Amino acid sequence: MLNSLRNEKRPPYPRETFSADLKAGIILVASYVPTTMALGVISGMGPLAGLWCGVIVGIVAAVCGGTRAMVSGPSAVLAVITATLLTGDELSLPEFAVIIVMAGAIQIVLGLAGVGRFVSYMPHIVLTGFMSGIGVLLLWSQAEKLFRLGTSDLVLAAICLAVFVAWPARIGKFVPAALAAVGIGWVVSLFIPDTHQLGPVPVGLPIPVIELPSLDFLPKAVGPAVLIALISSVYTLMWSLIADTFTGSRHNPNRELFGVGLGNLAAGIAGVMPGGGTIATMTARRFGGKTVVAGIVCAIIVAALILGLGPYVAPLPLAAFSAIVMLVGWRMIEFSFLRKIPRMDPRHSAVMLLVMAVTIFVDPVFAIIFGVIAANVVNAARLESLELDSVISTPLLDRTFSAEAPDDFTARIGLVAFRGSFTVSSSRKLIALIGADIRDHDVVIFDLSRATHIDDSAAHLLAQVIDRAKQTRTEIVVCGLNDSIRGPLFAFDVLDRIPDDRIAETEEEARALAWSLLTESDC
């Protein structure tokens, strides 16, 4: 299991790279602090929970992870899920801390088990719909909050958003737009009456809130823990792939899951929000960062600031943080994907839009479950068509068995050739087609020589077909068994239903065997 965590030989780390990472980490602090504070407020756990998440998950994931250039911490997706669980499920902070610890443990197990590369296989249409829905939720929640605060905060938020949009990219390499928006917003708030401030923020080390859970709570915690682990993992590995594009390296997904899981486990014990890979990965790169060291430098500076940050951030306007969250939400909406909907398969676009709608109007937690099921249904329908085309490429129960055979034999032997995969997607329909026609034949040959995969459902249904053939006194001959399909056929007692003398190596042997069975029955 530990082999899955091993990385290839790490490239050298020269002084020039360290200088670039040091500079990027220092500048990154300016945008990282206001963003993580804003996400902490959104999560319902407070700005300090967002900051400490950035420190704990950021450092642990960077040291133990498997991506050369990654900045981990709180994300908008996990902030919304955290808020949903805390308010919708009415969880206490100690209970939620247990869930985060469980989520981290799940990620660690996934990394150790070597299944990291499979975690990121969530259908793109589901992830796009979910992320876009979260973006809309962030926009709506902050707009509603600003209207509730009053006109002064609305005006101030508009000014901060204008700063974001108009801030020159050249200056942004040294003074991030997020820091500029907060700073300018604070100055402007001094001249606009009745604006609301962030207020006092606790300082110091995080206070662990985790408690030994009750046996009644543990079953309820499994679902939310799996969801947080899944979202954090998929989101992190997505950023790992993006990071690979500008580092030229290749991340180790299992080690990355292990590192993030260890970070989330520590975050749960410390009583802060969960985290994963973040958009700060791109920000650090834009500031010149080369490796995870940039994120570590940033996290260390943030940790130092937290210890005495409270008095200085209290006067900052809430509207500025709402503007930051609104910008994050806007960037999460996949407008480029939405523009492609008219050219997409209607079934795929329907799934994407439904997931987005469920995320916005029902529940983000339920949206992921609904989306995965819906996407699998759509993909299964497509897979059914492809598999049926493959299997039926040789006509089902072909009556033209041999041109040299007597006429009374040609109508009594059928041939079914399986090619490619035979799964639950196509098995039921195919078995229905075969089963309805078996009674018209005395012998049916199942040619499995070109079958590459048979899943458990298909094997189970194939056993039922053989039982049905016995009821109609139809002989079954099997040929072309290979190692890849022998396992499931053996596991589901398919081979036990067929005598050894009815199993042939090749199709020619199967034809001769079928012929002899007919000859014996006529004698």
Contact (CB, 8 A) for 21 and 14: no
Query: Could you give the 3-state DSSP secondary structure of residue 150?
Result: coil
Given this model, what pLDDT does residue 158 score? 95
User: Which residues, at least 6 apart from 205, have a Cβ–Cβ distance to it below 8 Å?
Assistant: 307
Tokens of 331: 């960037």
For the chain, how far is it from start to end, CA to CA, in angstroms?
61
Query: Which parts of 198-216 fold into alpha helices (H)?
Result: none
The Cα 272–Cα 140 span in angstroms is 25
Contact (CB, 8 A) for 25 and 284: yes
Q: What does the CA dihedral 110, 115, 120, 125 come to, rounded to 10 degrees?
A: -100
Given this model, what pLDDT does residue 433 score? 65
Domains along the chain?
Answer: 15-204+214-375 (no CATH), 392-522 (3.30.750.24)
Closest CA to 127 of 302, 330, 339, 372: 372
Residue ranges of the chain with per-residue pLDDT less than 50: 393-396, 399-407
pLDDT tens per residue, range 268-311: 999 999 999 998 888 888 888 899 999 999 999 889 888 876 67
| Alpha carbon separation from 356 to 87, 153, 359 (Å, rounded) | 21, 29, 5
The Cα 466–Cα 296 span in angstroms is 62
Tokens of 453: 């995969």
Q: How far is CA 234 from the centre of its chain?
A: 3
The Cα 337–Cα 111 span in angstroms is 31
